Structure 1
Amino acid sequence: MSLPLRTLGRDGPSVSAIGLGFGSIGGFYGPAGTLDEKVALLEHAHAAGLRFWDMADIYGGSEDVVREWIKRSGKRNDVFLTTKFGLQRQPNGSHTFRSDPEADGVTPIEKTIEAMVELKNQGKIRCLGLSDVSAATLRRAHAVHPITALQVEYSLFALDIDSPASEILKTCRELGVAIVAFSPIGRGILTGQFQSRADIPEGDLRRMYPKYAEENFPEILKLITPAKVALAWLLATGPDIVPIPGTKSAARMDENAAAALLQLSDQEVQEIRTLAEKVEIEGTRYPAAVMVTLCSDTPPLEE
């Protein structure tokens, strides 16, 4: 199945309008099955047209699964791969920040981009992207080398980046940087599979996030909508938005892919947004210790 394509950035690659995030398949939220089961899921994603794949070391074995899929299928050129570095999962399950150039609040972003440009010049990567940095840091990075995409959380459950208080979406559009929207269905919350906090499995990281607190569920349930409508709404907000929902379900993959073919009218787009804005949910997206690292600035570059 072929999905409509979208261009990452002004002159970047063409990717499927809806991609695949690897948090679930990598085991970030909990057990994700055997290697054979995960490889089979990737084969299904490929067949469904979801061929823009986003990985990270923090997601556990996501990169290993992709390597195995490529080894077995020989279809490397059929998919566009992205990955992230910085936050690493250790063998004991803990997470640490590496000390090499990264948006870590210590290293100037200019140094990080210079290191990434070296990799690009060596032919090891094709494009440069960032994740959860501030608008100011994005501008500084873009001044060193064009940034193709910024990965941030964006959904009917998290409209932060286009709020009047945020400059992120505005800055991306000014610079020609695509938005790669992770958690576009609120980590599954918009599908209705969780009717209360008790429905979230023990050990699942979502139990740690303040926004998923039990007292918020009466408001959360007002946002429940078919996943493909939530994804279609994101796509309709602009041609520079590429959602990357994650899942361990082949059926969900099919539903997500179908969203790329669902056309919403301008009136429907506005009505959905109006309804979402009326829902008031207390709490932050992550625990306080994590929130301070998001959309943060890096130190200025010393001459």
Structure 2
Amino acid sequence: MQQRKLGNEGLEVSAIGLGTMMMPDNDESVHTIQGALDMGVTMLDTADLYGTEYLLGRFGGNEKLVGRALKGRRYKAVIATKFGITHGQGPKGDPAYIKKSVDASLYSLGLDYIDLYYQHRPDPNTPIEETVGTMADLVKQGKIRYIGLSEAPADIIRRAHAVHPITAVETEYSLWSRELEDEILPLLKELRVGLVPYSPLGRGFLTGQIKKFEDLPEDDYRRYYPRFQGENFAKNVEVVSLIERMASQKGCTPAQLSLAWLLAQGEQIVPIPGTKRLDRLQENLGALQVKLTAQDLEEIERISPKGVAAGNRFGAF
């Protein structure tokens, strides 16, 4: 398994991780997580609010699932989890909340320490210096090893990094969502902070498996996202067809091509595609064998330039 370094504090992980956000709480998910670890995937990403249907308002449980899968395999894993999104109260990052949250996550995961601890969203009511200062205290206490931020703007990242080195920033990044290339990506390279892209396959759109809206189950949360609706859907399918064609020419799948493109954007980028199926995980890992030439990257830029996706990233729930 290829390895990559996140940040400048010594954290090394597999070049592709596994996002567990939408995993159902069942034996197949445990089998997939354990299979990932056995194949050399070390980076497992969860959060205190994740669960099978958290987007529909049913929160939590995912950390316990990950904890069960880690039995006898903790030494193989780098565990990343998050705090800070609350039940209808907005993002939080005050010291009391952080201390309560980390203890709850350690209990749910069944761990003595968390490798990478993210603030899930910046708290507008708590200075980032206060939040990161509290997280730095957790590092000193041995409860966490490294500090991360999620969906944070450039000014917050810079201020946070001045308090304590930030190891990684997690945010959406893919051929579908390239907004961070303007400010965030150059800043992370300057500060030598790692980037962990979530939804690196455009919530499944870039796999080429979704051809029409009806392919989404009736209870699928993606039905509420603008990019999966109406005229946006039709336009986006056309772009994916071009990606599929190029992938076929390269002898790989659209998912592998999309992940290979992400990996080519920088040495400190570690995408975390989510899946509950072991065969999909194996397919994703195949991206590590896809070599993109300068000409390939130019062609990808032509068929899927920044801003190509029709519709916003998120919709109203």
Matched-pair contact (CA < 8 Å) for 2:20–2:46? yes
Alignment pair present for 1:245 and 2:273: yes
Alpha-carbon shift at residue 279 of structure 1 (Å): 7.2
Counterparts of 2:157 and 2:298, CA distance in 1? 29
Alpha-carbon shift at residue 21 of structure 1 (Å): 0.7
The residue that corresponds to 1:117 in the other structure is 136
The residue that corresponds to 1:48 in the other structure is 39
Counterparts of 1:279 and 1:120, CA distance in 2? 39
Alpha-carbon shift at residue 257 of structure 1 (Å): 1.0
The residue that corresponds to 1:137 in the other structure is 156
- Note the 1:20-35 alignment, pairs <5 A: 20-25=18-23, 32=24, 34=26
Amino acid paired to 1:132 = E
The residue that corresponds to 1:213 in the other structure is 229
Alpha-carbon shift at residue 96 of structure 1 (Å): 4.5
Deviates more, 1:36-45 or 1:77-86: 36-45
Counterparts of 2:307 and 2:133, CA distance in 1? 42
Query: How many residues matched?
Result: 270
Counterparts of 1:140 and 1:279, CA distance in 2? 28
Alignment pair present for 1:192 and 2:208: yes
Alignment pair present for 1:104 and 2:123: yes
Alpha-carbon shift at residue 100 of structure 1 (Å): 4.4
Alpha-carbon shift at residue 70 of structure 1 (Å): 2.0
Q: Secondary structure at the match of 1:256?
A: helix
Give the TM-score taking structure 2 as reference length.
0.80
Alpha-carbon shift at residue 212 of structure 1 (Å): 2.0
The residue that corresponds to 1:161 in the other structure is 180
Counterparts of 1:284 and 1:105, CA distance in 2? 23
How much is the aligned-residue C-alpha RMSD, in angstroms?
A: 1.8
Cα deviation per residue 1:114-134 (whole Å; 9 max; x = unaligned)? 111111110111100000010
Matched-pair contact (CA < 8 Å) for 2:178–2:306? no
Matched-pair contact (CA < 8 Å) for 1:128–1:146? yes
Higher relative contact order (CA 8 A, sep 6+): 1
Alpha-carbon shift at residue 207 of structure 1 (Å): 1.4
Counterparts of 2:92 and 2:180, CA distance in 1? 28
The residue that corresponds to 2:106 in the other structure is none
Matched-pair contact (CA < 8 Å) for 1:219–1:279? no
Counterparts of 1:176 and 1:98, CA distance in 2? 26
2:299 to 271, 275, 295: 271
2:284 to 256, 259, 267: 256
2:79 to 74, 78, 81: 81
The residue that corresponds to 2:101 in the other structure is none
User: Segments of 4+ in structure 1 off by > 4 A?
Assistant: none
The residue that corresponds to 1:67 in the other structure is 67
Cα deviation per residue 1:167-198 (whole Å; 9 max; x = unaligned)? 11111111111110100010111011211222
Counterparts of 2:91 and 2:230, CA distance in 1? 35
Counterparts of 1:18 and 1:200, CA distance in 2? 26
Gaps of at least 5 residues in structure 2 are 52-60, 95-118, 245-253
Q: Percent identity?
A: 44
Counterparts of 2:8 and 2:235, CA distance in 1? 38
Deviates more, 1:40-49 or 1:142-151: 40-49
How has the CA–CA distance of structure 1 residues 278 and 245 changed in structure 2, closer, same or farther, with 3 Å as cutoff?
Answer: closer
The residue that corresponds to 1:294 in the other structure is none
Give the TM-score taking structure 1 as reference length.
0.84
Counterparts of 2:62 and 2:283, CA distance in 1? 22
Q: Secondary structure at the match of 1:15?
A: strand
Counterparts of 1:202 and 1:278, CA distance in 2? 30
The residue that corresponds to 2:310 in the other structure is 282
Counterparts of 1:251 and 1:190, CA distance in 2? 17
1:203 to 212, 216, 219: 219
Q: Secondary structure at the match of 1:242?
A: coil
Matched-pair contact (CA < 8 Å) for 1:183–1:246? yes
